[in-house]
Structure 1
C-alpha cells in the first residue's frame, strides 16, 4: 500500500565534500564495504530470483488478501521460499485480525422527487459496514481536505459526501489525505455515506481501506471511476433538484488469525541489536498485487537470498519481515511493534527499512533524521561508486500509511529508498490491473541490489549515529515533519496539548 506524498527534493550539498573521509568516520574499513557492495552487485545481477518468484507466486497464489485462503497460501509460500534459501531461523508471528471481505454493492443516483434512477458501477471500500442501506442527498466536497469539509460543515449532516480520492488541480504545497482520513472527516461532519471518485482515467475502479483503525466504519464508503465522477458532477450541475444516492451493500467480517513471516540472520558482534527490513506481503483481491506490494515483499526475500548466497555476516542481527494485514490497517506491523514493546525489546531495533512499492531506487530518504544525513549520503556515494547509474538523490522527509508507521510512532529510526514507477503503473494502484505485466524485471533487480547494499551498511556499521527517540522527542519530530494533523484525524495522536 504505497502512499504518494508531496516530498520536497532536498540535496545536502555540504556533504558532497570529503565523502571518503566522512565514510571512514563511520567504518573501520571503507575498502571492505566497497568490496562487499561489489560482491552484492555481482550476485544480484547474475542470480536474482525476485522477478521469477513473484511471477510464480502470482500464478500459484494469485491475490494475497489477509484472512483469505490465498493469504494463508502466501504466508506458506514466503516461509518455504526463505527456507529454500538456507534460513533455519524462520518463524510465523500470528496475530488476530478482523478480516473484511466484500460481498455485494450497488449505487443508484436519482433526482429528488423523481424515478429517473441511474445505476453507477461501484466497488466497496474495505471496512465498510457488514450491512448498509442508505439514501441521502449528494454533497460535493471536492478534494476532501480539512478545509473542504469545514466549508460545508452545516450541509453534510445526513448527506452523502462526494470526494476525490486524489487531488484534482492540487494547490501547491497541499498534502493529500488518505481515503481513510477523508472518510473519518465525513463521519465527523455527520455524513451517512461516502462516494470516492478515482481520478485515474480508463474506467478504473480502486479499492482499499476506508478505516483509519482497521475496524469497521459506521457508514458505507465506495469508489466510482473517474468517468462516472465526471458524469455525476455534470448531472449535478444540470439538474435543478438535488441528486440523491442510494447505497446498498453487504460484506462479511470475522476474526481470523494471520501470520507475519520472519527470517533472522544473527549478528556477529551486536546480536541483540536489530535492523528490520520489512514490506507487506498481503494485497487486495481485485488483482494479484504484483506492484502493491509484490515488488517490495519479493525484493525482501531476494535480499535475504543474497545475504545467504554470499555468506554475509554483518555485525547486527537482521530480521527480514513479510507483514500481513497492511492493507487492512497496518495490522501486522502494529502487532510486531506491540510484541516488541511487551517484551521490552523495542530499544533493540536500531533501524527499520520499509519497502512498499519501492522500485528502481535513485537515492535514500533519511525520514527527517538530520543526524543520519551524512551517514546515509556516504553510503549512497559508496553505492554510486559501485554502480554509477545510482544517482544518490538524498531526501529527508517522513510520511505515513505503510508498515514503517508503527515503528516511527514509537521513535524507531526509519530509512527509505527513493524509487519511481511509471504513470501507467501507478494508475493501477489498488485496481484490477495490478498484475505481473506491470513489473519491470531490471528495475526490480535494482531495488534488490541497492537495498541490499544499504541494509548491509546499516547492519555492519561500527556505529549508527542515531537511536530510538523518547516520547517527547518523537512528538516533536512528528510535528516538525508535518504529521500531527493527519495523525489527529486518524486518532493516532497520543500526546495531550
Structure 2
C-alpha cells in the first residue's frame, strides 16, 4: 500500500540575507499545471488519433515481430507517423539482435512402454533451440516456483518439466515467476524440456520468450492450452506408469539489425535534461499485437502528437521512443541504455516513463521512490481537478519485464500509470486473438490524456525531487522492492554478497 503525504496548499518562503529560497521547491506549480492539463484534456478528447493509427497499422503492417519484414515496416510506419506530426528531430537507433522465428513443433505424449501416443496442440516459446528432439518422463512441477522445483530436485534430471504459466490456486503472498525464469529453473535442475500450461480457458495457445537473456536456451520450451493441461494431468493420474513426452521442433535464429525510433522535443530551459517516454512497438507473430503493445506504443505516438498540436514547450527535453526487441529480451531498451552509458549521458535522464499494455489509467505509480510521492500526489490531485473521473489511486511498487527495467537497474527513476484491462482482453495476451477488436477507443484515449499530463508535469517542473541512484542505492532499492530473487534467477543481479 502506498504511503500518502500531506501536500501543503501554500508556499512558505525563507528569507536569508541577500537570498530567497523556498521549502516547497519540489512541489509543482499547481495553477500552471492546471492550465496545461485543461488544454491537454480538450485536445486529446477531441482529436486523439491513437485508435485510428493503431487500427490502420494493424491492417497495413500486421504483426510487428522484430527481425521480420513486418518489423521493419512497423519501424518505418512509426517514423513516418511522427514526421507527419511535425517532428524534425527523428532518428533510427539501430542495434543488432538475434532474431528468433518459429518453424515446426510437435508434442506427443505416451505412457511408458506403450505405443498409445496422443498428439497435443502446442506452440514453441521463443529462443528454444534451432533443432530439438527430446523424449523424457513428464514430472509435474505445479506452479513452477522456486520451492516447487526444489521439491523435485532429485527427480528432474533428464525429465520434462510440466509447469503452469500462471499460479493455479495461488498461495497467499506467493509471487509468480516469468515463464523465462521458470525455464531457467528447469535448466538449473537438469530438465531436458519444459511444457508450460496456459491457464486461460478456450484452447488458447500463448507464446513469448522462455529466455532470460534473449539468447537461445539449451532445452525446448513449449506451451499447451489449459484444456490440454487438464487432460494431461488427468491421464497422469489414471496411468500406473509414468507418461513420457516427445518434443520435436525446428526454429530459425539469425543476427539482424532492428531499430528503435526516437523523436526529440527540445527543452526550453533545461535542454540537457531528458525525460524518456517509451513503449515497445514490436509484437509476437501469432496476431497483430493490438493490446501488447499497440495500445502502449500508439499512445506514445499520440502523446507526441498532442505536444506538437498544442505547441507545448516544456523545460526539459522529451524523447519519445518506440522500442523494438522487447518481446525477445528487452533488446531495444538494453541497447539504448548501453549507448547512454558509453556516451556518459545516462545521468542526464531524469526520468523514464514506460507504457506497456497500459490502459485506462486510474492513478500513478511511483515505482518505490518515496521521495517522489509528494510531487506525484500533487500532480494526481491536479489531474483529478481537471478531469474528475480520474480516480487518482496512487501506487508505489516496482516490477520487471518491460523496457523500464534496463533503466531501473542503472538507477534511473521510473514512473508508471496504473491501468486495467478486462479479463477477456488479458486472456489474449501473446495469443492469436490479440487483435484490434479488443481495443476500447475511450480507454485508449484516457491513456493518452492522463499520460500526457504526467509527462508534461515531469518535463516542465522547476525541480524534480529525485535523481539517478548510486550503484549501492540501486541495489538496496531493488532488495526493498522484492526484486532480488527474480533478478538472480535471470542472471541480472550484478552485486556480490
TM-score bracket, normalised by the shorter chain, equals over 0.9
Cα 1:57–1:165 shift into 2, 3 Å: same
**Equivalences for 1:372-451 in 2 at 5 Å?**
372-451=372-451
> TM-score, normalized by length of structure 2?
0.97
**Equivalences for 1:101-120 in 2 at 5 Å?**
101-120=101-120
Q: CA deviation at 1:247?
A: 0.1
What's the counterpart of residue 466 of structure 1?
466
Q: CA deviation at 1:13?
A: 4.0
Q: CA deviation at 1:25?
A: 4.3
What's the counterpart of residue 196 of structure 1?
196
What's the counterpart of residue 8 of structure 2?
18
Does residue 92 of the first structure (1) align with residue 82 of the second (2)?
A: no
Q: Supply the RMSD in Å over aligned alpha carbons.
A: 1.2
**Equivalences for 1:292-311 in 2 at 5 Å?**
292-311=292-311
What secondary structure does 1:143 align onto?
A: coil
What's the counterpart of residue 137 of structure 1?
137
Q: CA deviation at 1:35?
A: 0.4
String of CA shifts for 1:48-69, please: whole Å, max 9, x gaps.
Answer: 0000000000000000000000
Cα distance in structure 2, aligned partners of 1:96 and 1:20: 52
Cα distance in structure 1, aligned partners of 2:152 and 2:27: 57
String of CA shifts for 1:362-395, please: whole Å, max 9, x gaps.
Answer: 0000000000011011100000000011111000
Q: CA deviation at 1:32?
A: 1.8
Cα distance in structure 2, aligned partners of 1:32 and 1:144: 51
**Equivalences for 1:314-333 in 2 at 5 Å?**
314-333=314-333
Q: CA deviation at 1:39?
A: 0.3
**Equivalences for 1:352-363 in 2 at 5 Å?**
352-363=352-363
Q: CA deviation at 1:20?
A: 6.5
Cα distance in structure 1, aligned partners of 2:133 and 2:229: 21
Check conservation: 2:25, 2:463, Cα contact below 8 A. no
Cα distance in structure 2, aligned partners of 1:304 and 1:21: 32
**Equivalences for 1:257-296 in 2 at 5 Å?**
257-296=257-296
String of CA shifts for 1:13-46, please: whole Å, max 9, x gaps.
Answer: 433x535769964467432211000000000000
Cα distance in structure 1, aligned partners of 2:183 and 2:473: 30
What's the counterpart of residue 40 of structure 2?
40
Cα distance in structure 1, aligned partners of 2:172 and 2:466: 33
What's the counterpart of residue 18 of structure 2?
none
Cα distance in structure 2, aligned partners of 1:309 and 1:41: 12
Cα distance in structure 2, aligned partners of 1:360 and 1:319: 23
**Equivalences for 1:78-227 in 2 at 5 Å?**
78-227=78-227
Cα distance in structure 1, aligned partners of 2:413 and 2:192: 40
What secondary structure does 2:74 align onto?
A: helix
Check conservation: 1:20, 1:378, Cα contact below 8 A. no
String of CA shifts for 1:408-441, please: whole Å, max 9, x gaps.
Answer: 0000000000000000000000000000000000
Cα 1:28–1:493 shift into 2, 3 Å: closer
What's the counterpart of residue 19 of structure 2?
none
Check conservation: 1:197, 1:225, Cα contact below 8 A. yes
String of CA shifts for 1:326-383, please: whole Å, max 9, x gaps.
Answer: 0000000000000000000000000000000000000000000000011011100000
- Stretches of structure 1 that go unaligned for 5 or more consecutive residues are 1-8
Check conservation: 1:91, 1:263, Cα contact below 8 A. yes
What secondary structure does 1:249 align onto?
A: strand
> TM-score, normalized by length of structure 1?
0.97
Cα distance in structure 2, aligned partners of 1:28 and 1:487: 35
What's the counterpart of residue 3 of structure 1?
none
Cα 1:68–1:380 shift into 2, 3 Å: same
What secondary structure does 1:157 align onto?
A: coil
Cα distance in structure 2, aligned partners of 1:40 and 1:118: 58
Cα distance in structure 2, aligned partners of 1:232 and 1:317: 55
Check conservation: 1:24, 1:30, Cα contact below 8 A. no
What secondary structure does 1:452 align onto?
A: helix
Q: How many residues align?
A: 487
What's the counterpart of residue 55 of structure 2?
55
What secondary structure does 1:14 align onto?
A: coil
Cα 1:256–1:20 shift into 2, 3 Å: farther
Check conservation: 2:149, 2:189, Cα contact below 8 A. yes
What secondary structure does 2:486 align onto?
A: helix
What secondary structure does 2:377 align onto?
A: helix
Cα distance in structure 2, aligned partners of 1:481 and 1:393: 19
- Stretches of structure 2 that go unaligned for 5 or more consecutive residues are 13-22
